[in-house]
C-alpha cells in the first residue's frame, strides 16, 4: 500500500492542469497536513488554483487531513522552512511514510536528512506517464509554465528526455 503526504505546491500545480486526481491514481492514500490545507483553502490569496478541487477531494475522502502531533519540533525548525513544508516532513515521520510530495529544494534537502524520499510535481508527471496514466508530459509542463509555475529550463529538458519525448539530453 503506497501512502504519501503532500505540500501545497504540487496540489496547486496539478489543479492548474486539471489533474489533481493523478495523486489518487498513483497512490493508495494521500495525506496533507492541516497547515497545507489551510494554506490552500483558507488563504486570502488571489491565486484560486486548488481551493475547490482540494475541498472536494477532502469531502470525498480522496485526501486525508493530518494534524501533526510534534508541534514543538515544528516550532523549533520554523524559520528554516515554511510551516507547511515542516508539517509535511514531520507528518511523514509520524505516519510512518517513506515518500513526501514537495517541490522546494530546501524542503527536499531536509526531507533527505529525515530519510524520506521526495518527489515533486515534475516527478509526479513522469511517474504518471510511466504508470500509463498520461501519454505524454510536455503539454502538462507547458500548461504549468503558462500559469507561471517555476520549472527551470534544465529540469524541463531533463524531464522530456526521461519521458522519451526528446532525444536532447542535458549535459
Residue 113 lies in a domain: yes
Residue 143 lies in a domain: no
Residue 28 lies in a domain: yes
Looking at residue 28, what DSSP letter applies?
S
Can you give the CATH number for the domain in which 18 is found? 3.40.50.1010
Q: In which residue are the cell numbers 503539454 written? A: 139
Q: Report pLDDT for 79.
A: 81
Cβ neighbours for 52, distance < 8 A, ≥ 6 positions apart: none
Residue 134 lies in a domain: no
Residue 16 lies in a domain: yes
pLDDT, tens digit (0-9, with 9 covering 90-100), for 115-165: 999 999 999 999 999 999 999 999 999 999 998 889 999 999 999 999 999
Count of Cβ atoms closer than 10 Å to residue 100 Cβ = 27
Residue 157 lies in a domain: no
**CA-to-CA separations, 88 to 6, 81, 107, 142, 148, in angstroms, rounded:** 6, 11, 9, 27, 24
pLDDT, tens digit (0-9, with 9 covering 90-100), for 94-104: 999 999 999 99
pLDDT bracket for residue 35 (50, 70, 90): very high
Average pLDDT over residues 34-48: 78
pLDDT, tens digit (0-9, with 9 covering 90-100), for 47-93: 567 788 888 999 999 999 999 999 888 888 888 788 999 999 999 99
Give the C-alpha separation, 24 to 63, whole Å: 8
Q: In which residue are the cell numbers 489518487 written? A: 24
Residue 42 has pLDDT above 90, yes or no: no
Q: Report pLDDT for 45.
A: 59
CB 8 within 8 A of CB 40: yes
Give the C-alpha separation, 4 to 36, whole Å: 14
**Nearest CA to 39 among 9, 77, 68?**
9
Count of Cβ atoms closer than 10 Å to residue 8 Cβ = 25
Q: For the chain, how many structural domains are there in total?
A: 1
Domain hosting 101: range is 3-122
Residue 161 lies in a domain: no
Residue 48 lies in a domain: yes
pLDDT bracket for residue 46 (50, 70, 90): very low
Residues shown for the chain: 171
Amino acid at each position: 500500500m503506497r501512502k504519501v503526504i503532500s505540500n501545497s505546491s504540487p496540489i496547486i500545480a496539478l489543479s492548474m492542469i486539471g489533474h489533481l486526481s493523478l495523486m489518487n491514481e498513483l497512490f493508495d492514500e494521500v495525506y496533507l497536513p492541516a497547515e497545507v490545507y489551510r494554506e490552500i483553502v483558507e488563504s486570502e490569496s488571489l491565486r484560486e488554483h486548488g481551493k475547490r478541487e482540494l475541498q472536494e477531494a477532502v469531502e470525498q475522502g480522496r485526501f486525508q487531513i493530518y494534524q501533526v502531533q510534534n508541534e514543538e519540533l515544528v516550532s523549533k525548525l520554523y524559520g528554516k522552512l515554511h510551516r507547511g513544508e515542516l508539517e509535511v516532513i514531520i507528518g511523514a515521520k509520524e505516519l510512518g511514510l517513506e515518500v513526501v510530495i514537495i517541490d522546494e529544494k530546501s524542503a527536499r534537502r531536509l526531507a533527505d536528512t529525515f530519510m524520506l524520499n521526495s518527489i515533486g510535481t515534475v516527478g509526479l508527471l513522469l511517474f504518471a506517464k510511466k504508470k500509463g496514466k498520461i501519454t505524454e508530459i510536455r503539454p502538462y509542463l507547458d500548461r504549468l509554465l503558462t500559469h507561471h509555475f517555476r520549472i527551470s529550463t534544465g529540469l524541463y529538458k531533463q524531464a522530456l528526455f526521461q519521458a522519451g519525448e526528446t532525444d536532447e539530453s542535458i549535459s
